[in-house]
Structure 1
Amino acid sequence: MIYVDNNATTRLADEVAQAMADAFAVGYLNPSSQHQLGQKARRRLDDARETILSILGGEITKFLGDRLVFTSGGTEANNLALFGLGHETAGQVIISAIEHPSISEAADRLRAFGTAVRVLPVNSEGVVQYDQLDDWLTEPTRLVSVMLANNETGVIQPIEEIAAICRDRKVPLHVDAVQAVGKIPLDFSLLDISAMTISPHKFHGPRGIGALMLDDQVKLNPMMFGGSQQLTMRPGTESVELAIGFERSLQLAIETLPEAGPRMETLRDHLEASLLQELGDERMTINRGMIERLPHTSNVAFPGIDRQALVMALDMVGVACSTGSACASGSSERSPTLIAMGLKEEVISSSIRLSLSRTTTEEEIDEVAKRISNCVKRLRRP
């Protein structure tokens, strides 16, 4: 089986598995315990937290500085941002039309609680249009949330421009950076945002842990109660082993990025070119225009072919891919991202997502292109 569904999750790197195995062998205990064994676990957990903060461009000071709140994953971190920063009946929350379900559905819940929710549109290339943002911020606004790069198309969003507007209006900006971390260079301090979501299983780290990174000026209201861990912002016993896996996977992702990023982009472009050469541009469309996108993500449409039938056919010939967000897997619902882009129905209904990783090989890409072309041709037959 050739795996090209890395935006859903990535395989755990051997080095990360070893780091976690070593941590389990140490036998770390509850890092909240006051005895020596507990405090040993606390020191190692704090070391991992500070390393992650430092790598991502957080500012660490003696007293507080930027903070990293460990969660169970990206979905919880996004929910914590929306409810922890935006959950007030007074005022409004602003999101984009292409957010991950853990943002868009959380915003729907806020709306049910009485919070006004406004949605920034995107153009046909999937780029958030923020022309109205400055006018919208004249009303009391609790939070703006816009993803750094889309999980389906890979299109990179104008976060710096949006951040400048929010900063001028003194409104917190949360950025879902789950798909971007480890794929493109980024720096929390340079982005000058208030909060950022990270999830290591997208860059060969463990599942079951994520984080919400917070600027030192942000006040976060907790979603959970019953413990003093993480300054009460997210109570519950922390997993030292998962934190160590998070730390090691991020270290590897950043260390390998200068070589891995261009390599993934070359392989992705080769895959698209091979498909275009075999099928022709009348039978295949790349859903992104000429806009900058993540180096490992391709969203392609084969008009006239049902997307789910194609994914199942590919699975049968040994290619693992998807129709979009893994959090909507098993659903026949059309992609909200492609709908927001205003694409034709024949494009929306025939689109699949192909996503690479730093371990993807040229031989795999050649074989994927061949198998996709064969499946598309077979499904087109009357």
Structure 2
Amino acid sequence: MIYLDYQATTPLAPEAREAMLAWLSGPDTDGFANPHSPHRAGRGAAAAVEIAREQVAQLLPAGGRVIFTSGATEAINLALLGSGRRHLAVSAIEHAAVLDCAQAIDPALALLPVDSEGLVSADVPFPAQTDLVAVMQVNNEIGTIQPVEALAERAHEQGALFLCDAVQSAGKLAPPQNADLIAISAHKLYGPKGIGALWVRDGVEIAPLIRGGGQEQGLRSGTLSPALCAGFGAAAALAHRRRTEDAARAEALWHRTRAMLGRWTLNGSATARWHGNLNLRLPGLDVARLMSDLRDVAFSAGSACASGSGRPSHVLRALGLSDSDAKTSIRLGFGRYSHLRDIEDACARLEAAAADQGV
């Protein structure tokens, strides 16, 4: 299989897998211990969790704390619901984790528009009563990079908090230094599924969603998995070391793919973007048939979280695309473990399959 769906999930880094194995052991070692237990084995597991927390913190601004969660969706819900803010403004192309939670909190939710390139203007007005603004750093469907630091500054001028979904950017770009809350996910940066984190700026108060034993600094009760934490930490440390190298690789692959699929139209900005994401459309294309014809090429018609819904992408519609144009779009994603020869093979096969449709 040629894997071109890095926005949905990334392969587990060998280094992350190795870090996890010590905490997936049986009764002949201490690796199974509960990290919240006071005995020696428990303290050893707790130490592994804290090492991982420090590794993850390297990807985030100084002056805040890392709260481990089950993933970015929980982190976003903890940020939005736990903040106690009730008048929200979010970009029109946010992930469903932000949009659905924000809508539940504020039925009069303000949607911040994007232009035809998928960018929120740094000068977009917020409603006067807004007390929390949420804009993602890199869009998961089209890869555009938003002016999050400028938007955070404007939110603060209005007395609002700023939440950034950094799921697609953590470990790839510098984090927004002036955000108040940042959500990230391990499996989008070559770590394991089932764990994410919420970064909370010092001085920002939030209330817990999950109550019980008071683990995770009183903000997220439940027994932590040392294995998942260790995998997350190792993946974060590797991403921190390889950020420049990984970015250069993604950019080279993006330009080669774009050249080979030159007659396809790009969705989103050509410049303000993460190059591991390429979203393209071809008029008249039957995407469902394309995916059926190329079953050993893993790519997407949009967000994995909305796959199978049959609805046009809300992200592409926000760019001004018609429903029919949105439904002729595909998303290609590549990264650290992608190979040029596979990319070239996939592009040739995409072109051949499209030609077989007469488009």
Would you call these one fold, judging by a TM-score over 0.5? yes
Question: How far off its partner does 1:173 sit?
Answer: 0.3
Q: Percent same amino acid at aligned positions?
A: 38
Match of 1:40 in 2: 44
Match of 1:118 in 2: 110
In structure 2, what is the Cα distance between the partners aligned to 1:41 and 1:296? Answer: 35
Which residue of 74, 77, 85 corresponds with 1:76? 74
Match of 1:377 in 2: 355
Question: How far off its partner does 1:35 sit?
Answer: 2.4
Which residue of 320, 328, 335 corresponds with 2:306? 328
Match of 1:62 in 2: none
1:159-174 mapped onto 2 (5 Å cutoff): 159-174=148-163
In structure 1, what is the Cα distance between the partners aligned to 2:150 and 2:85? Answer: 25
More helix by share: 1
1:127 aligns with 2:119: yes
Question: How far off its partner does 1:28 sit?
Answer: 4.1
Which residue of 273, 290, 296 corresponds with 2:259? 273
Match of 1:15 in 2: 15
1:218 aligns with 2:180: no
Contact map agreement 1:310 1:376 (CA 8 A) in 2 = yes
Contact map agreement 2:3 2:298 (CA 8 A) in 1 = yes
Match of 2:271 in 1: 291
Amino acid at match of 2:83: L
Contact map agreement 2:59 2:171 (CA 8 A) in 1 = no
In structure 2, what is the Cα distance between the partners aligned to 1:36 and 1:222? Answer: 29
In structure 2, what is the Cα distance between the partners aligned to 1:215 and 1:286? Answer: 36
1:263 aligns with 2:249: yes
Which residue of 105, 110, 117 corresponds with 2:100? 105
Question: How far off its partner does 1:232 sit?
Answer: 1.8
In structure 1, the gaps of 5 or more residues are 60-65
Following TM superposition, the consecutive aligned residue runs of length 4 or more in structure 1 with deviations greater than 6 angstroms are none
In structure 1, what is the Cα distance between the partners aligned to 2:140 and 2:210? Answer: 27
What's the CA shift string for 1:327-372, capped at 9, x where partnerless?
Answer: 1122211100000010234421100100001110110111011010
In structure 2, what is the Cα distance between the partners aligned to 1:133 and 1:309? Answer: 42
Amino acid at match of 1:82: L
1:344 aligns with 2:348: no
Normalised to the residue count of structure 1, the TM-score between the two structures is 0.89
Matched residue SS, 2:41 = helix
Amino acid at match of 1:34: P
Query: Structure 1's 263 and 132: CA in aligned 2 closer, same or farther, altered over 3 A?
Result: closer
Contact map agreement 2:254 2:278 (CA 8 A) in 1 = yes
1:147-296 mapped onto 2 (5 Å cutoff): 147-184=136-173, 186-188=174-176, 191-276=177-262, 280=263, 284-296=264-276
In structure 2, what is the Cα distance between the partners aligned to 1:289 and 1:120? Answer: 17
In structure 2, what is the Cα distance between the partners aligned to 1:128 and 1:170? Answer: 20
1:285-324 mapped onto 2 (5 Å cutoff): 285-315=265-295, 318-324=296-302
Which moves more between the two structures, 78-87 or 152-161? 78-87
Contact map agreement 2:277 2:331 (CA 8 A) in 1 = yes
Contact map agreement 1:86 1:93 (CA 8 A) in 2 = no
Question: How far off its partner does 1:86 sit?
Answer: 4.4
In structure 2, the gaps of 5 or more residues are none
In structure 2, what is the Cα distance between the partners aligned to 1:3 and 1:58? Answer: 35
In structure 1, what is the Cα distance between the partners aligned to 2:117 and 2:197? Answer: 29
Q: CA RMSD in A?
A: 1.6
What's the CA shift string for 1:193-227, capped at 9, x where partnerless?
Answer: 10101111111110000000010111111111112
Normalised to the residue count of structure 2, the TM-score between the two structures is 0.94
Matched residue SS, 1:24 = coil
Matched residue SS, 1:268 = helix
What's the CA shift string for 1:66-96, capped at 9, x where partnerless?
Answer: 11111111111111112112454xxx11111
